[in-house]
Chain A
Amino acid sequence: MSTATVEELAEATAPDRFWNRQRRLGAALVIIGLIAAVIFGSLAESATARFTLSEDAEGAALSINGQFGAILFGIVTIAAGAALLAGVAKRWQTLLLCLGIVFFVLSFLCWQVAGKFLPLVDTVSGSLELALPLILGALAGVLCERSGVVNVAIEGQFLMGAFGAALVGTLATSVWAGLVSAVIGGVIIASLLAVLAIRFLVDQVVVGVVLNLFALGVTGFLYERLMQPEALKYNQPPRLPEWHVPGLADIPVIGPVLFDTNLLVWLALVLVFVVHFGLTRTRWGLRTRAVGEHPTAADTVGIRVRGLRYLNVLLGGVVAGAGGAYFTLVSTGSFNKNMTAGAGFIALAALIFGRWTPFGALGAALFFGFAQKLANYLSAVGSPVPNQFLNMLPYIATIIAVAGLVGRVRAPAADGVPYVKS
């Protein structure tokens, strides 16, 4: 009897050795590749799918037979998965994984676009624009959480930022005044978060949720009582100007995306680099990470733990507030009740999916932006795939990330733990 138990035990646990992370990912890729090749391939029309290099149906295009493309790219995905299954050197793993996912998406696109067209420039710049608040929100999260303060209040910071930008931007008829007020709006929420979490040691997730509701209530009230009755006077901020960089803007695809766009895009992309190098290469960054990982150790070498956490939470407020400006100064041009509609939470997901790093957050935000843009496209062309499925993607991706399928996700060790001297 007892031997049987041991053998069962050995059987139940031993496959883990073989089914390591690489093989599990490989198997997953093979399965989705099969889905792509068989299902997408059989459903796809045998008609030309055109990917135009412009914002509409005109101009040069990359064309491929939809059915052929769906099957071909599905097979490439299977190949990438098979390579992972067979076992390759560690440095190729991430590349193969990314390639597999990209080709799966391509296969899906070939199916959907067969007989139609997809404007590439519009897709890329639209994805970037939708990703914009997510990038800024996730960066704000990086700043807070690497110093050990959980920031669930990104949504509230967005709302206050968006509201401040609309109100002050309209009153001052200056987009720059609007931008500054957005930052102040973000900092107000951030300072409440900082004081409650760092000074009064309130549970940080609870504080975050409360601040989100607070921001929703305050902006909703003022919107209904102030803005809605007199929209012209209070709710018509100027839009952020688009910058057309002569010469560079004429480069195909990249030009219109990067060099014919608004200031906020540039700000977000530059900030990614600034935060990355700040965290990894400067004294401030080293200390911030130390405070987020092991605050007692930081204290014993003379670092002011609470002071540094205050600084970082407020810096996060600045960045998230600027992200809020996107909604009123870039996207719609006026404030609306609860207009952020959960973007702050998707930014939080991007932060986790991006493993608390600036470039990870950028990648995750772009991926989420792309999923959103694709959902919009599909509903516009009347695809049989319900766009709600694509809207689910950010959340599914985050669950997968948190479940540890895409490498080990490790939050800063002291994230969410208040520092109290013993």
Chain B
Amino acid sequence: MANDHIDITVEPGEVHALLGENGAGKSTLMNQLYGLLQPDEGEILVDGQKKIFRSPRDAISAGIGMVHQHFMLVPVFTVAENIALGAEETRGGPLGWLDRRRNRRDVLETSKRYGLPVDPDALVENLPVGAQQRVEIVKALTRDVDLLILDEPTAVLTPQETDELLAVMRSLAETGKSIVFITHKLREVKAIADRITVIRRGRTVGTASPDTSEDELAALMVGRDVSLEVTKTPADPGREVLKVSGLIVDDERGVRAVDGVDLEVRSGEVLGIAGVQGNGQTELVEAIMGLRAARAGKIELEDADLAGRSTKQVLRAGVGYIPEDRSLDGVIKDFTVAENLVLDLYDRAPFGNGFALNPKAIDDSARERVSQFDIRTSSAQSTVGTLSGGNQQKVVVAREMSRPLKLLIASQPTRGVDVGSIEFIHNQIIHERDVGTAVLVVSSELDEVVGLADRIAVMYRGRILATVSPDMPREEIGLLMAGIVSSGEEEEDSK
């Protein structure tokens, strides 16, 4: 059950934050409100009238709009086509001949009225995510919504873009529209919400006013006191473990994704890479791991050249890898926990002899890891797909940290992971640092990078714009993430 008797009321003109962890049931609730899912029980009242939403069509006609976490835009369509879709202006008649001029004009009008600049003729696939999000909002607004649901809208934005979005939400609320803002980021909730409803495990656990402290909100959200700060001692960097120089990598479309990156990570330190998603971080990590061919440049692990090596060779050279997309690259969901824990060493003693597996060794080791890494599973023989996101991630962490490592690469290590597991995983990463491993953390969550890293490299359009200290004010790091280098800043990568 994703939702268990939730009550929520949204007033006209208010920004109502729906706060909860990943998997708490926020999105499920809103998908019911938007007609994508049908509730088993309970009712929805709009302006005091009972409504039944069988499909989004019903929700739209009742004045509800939604901006989904994963944008619902057709990449190969223009902005105007995407906005018109489903509510097309036609020249009348049975043929439904599209009236492109009127569709375009409607887009421009809405865009101007609400101060959301969009280019109606641009192809959506060519737009940066911030612009795609504006398109989504304009799309909802052209349908004359009274209630706008925004599902995790800030996940893909820079801090500056987030501020802009919050301003837009505020001005929309002032025109009398109601806004439901789904998030798990406490800072944003406090900045914008008029009222806060906290959801945990499918239940409403309380409502709060925006002046509630972050710690209190977090405790409500998680159900116990949590420390939001990563506690760690100052780093003690040793020898240089990873050295990347002049690295150039193209993405699958042949577009340059990593454009001359130099970085080094020393043993016993965490280098964090901050940046908005899609600025080359994925390709950088994949190139180091041998998952993607580099076009040029050097990747050295303690003087051994990693360029051109297979991923297996890279792993065996002492690199641990927590991939950014857990379900795609981290675990095999139909395999058991035990099997997933030996994906890296299945062909080595004691787990295998190159011909047959040794089930006993695999099981014994799995049981040990399950307790050591606090993996909440009914048994080591359960398939990984039945575990929660946080526990799946712990399986990955357990596997990668059970080898002797020289370097650990953690890419979005806590994406889609509950707060309790985040704490645990962060502590494991810091522990790995403290025993002398070099750690490279890539995350689009600035808080995570600031919390973990001893040095922060900000990546923008395939380049490292600057390497800064985590004590640098958030705003300045945010500016770097948006590609703005202030004049006083020393630019490492001068063009």
A→B interface (CB under 8 Å): 1-2, 5-6, 8-10, 13-14, 16, 281-284, 286-287, 289-290, 293-294, 296-304, 413, 421
Contact = CB atoms under 8 A, between A and B. Distances in A.
23 contacts: A1-B305, A6-B298, A6-B307, A9-B296, A13-B293, A282-B90, A282-B98, A283-B90, A286-B81, A286-B85, A290-B85, A293-B74, A294-B75, A297-B73, A297-B85, A299-B36, A300-B66, A300-B72, A301-B56, A301-B86, A302-B56, A303-B85, A421-B36
Contacts of A304: 55
Nearest to A301: B86
B84 interface: yes
A349 B299 CA distance: 44
A8 B296 CA distance: 10
B376 interface: no
Contacts of A2: 298, 300, 305, 307
Contacts of A289: 74, 76-77
The 6 closest A-B pairs by CB, nearest first: A301-B86, A302-B57, A283-B96, A297-B72, A2-B305, A294-B74
A305 to B, nearest CB: 10
Interface in B279-304: 293-298, 300
Contacts, number: 101
Contacts of B77: 289-290, 293
A43 B73 CA distance: 58
Q: Which of B36, B96, B293, B300 has the most CB of A within 10 A?
A: B96
Interface in B41-82: 55-57, 60, 66, 68, 71-77, 81-82
A15 B74 CA distance: 34
Interface of B: 34, 36-37, 55-57, 60, 66, 68, 71-77, 81-82, 84-88, 90, 95-98, 139, 254, 293-298, 300, 305, 307-308
Given A284-B96, A296-B72, A301 B87 contact: yes
Contacts of A283: 88, 90, 96-98
B308 A9 contact: yes
Given A283-B90, A293-B75, A296-B72, 16 more contacts: A2-B307, A6-B298, A9-B307, A10-B295, A13-B296, A14-B296, A16-B254, A281-B98, A287-B85, A290-B74, A297-B71, A297-B73, A297-B82, A299-B55, A300-B66, A302-B87
Contact of A5 (B55, B76, B295, B308): B308
Nearest to B296: A10
Q: Which of B76, B81, B85, B295 has the most CB of A within 10 A?
A: B85
Nearest to A300: B72
A417 to B, nearest CB: 14
Contact of B97 (A281, A299, A421): A281
Contacts of A9: 293-296, 307-308
A371 to B, nearest CB: 31
Contacts of B98: 281-283, 286
A302 to B, nearest CB: 3
Contacts of A293: 74-77
Contact of B305 (A5, A16, A282): A5
A120 to B, nearest CB: 39
B493 to A, nearest CB: 19
B293 A297 contact: no
Nearest to B58: A302
A290 B78 CA distance: 11
A287 to B, nearest CB: 7
B94 to A, nearest CB: 10
Q: Which of B34, B55, B86 has the most CB of A within 10 A?
A: B86
Contact of A13 (B82, B88, B295): B295
A50 B82 CA distance: 55
A300 B73 contact: no
B34 A282 contact: no
A28 B139 CA distance: 47
A282 B86 CA distance: 12
Q: Which of A2, A301, A302, A304 has the most CB of B within 10 A?
A: A301
Contacts of B76: 289, 293, 413
Contacts of B37: 421
Contact of B73 (A14, A281, A294, A421): A294
B68 A300 contact: yes
A301 B88 CA distance: 11
A300 B81 contact: no
Contact of B34 (A13, A287, A300, A421): A300
Contacts of A298: 74, 85-86
Contacts of A287: 85-86
B73 A6 contact: no
B91 to A, nearest CB: 10
B97 A294 contact: no
B348 to A, nearest CB: 27
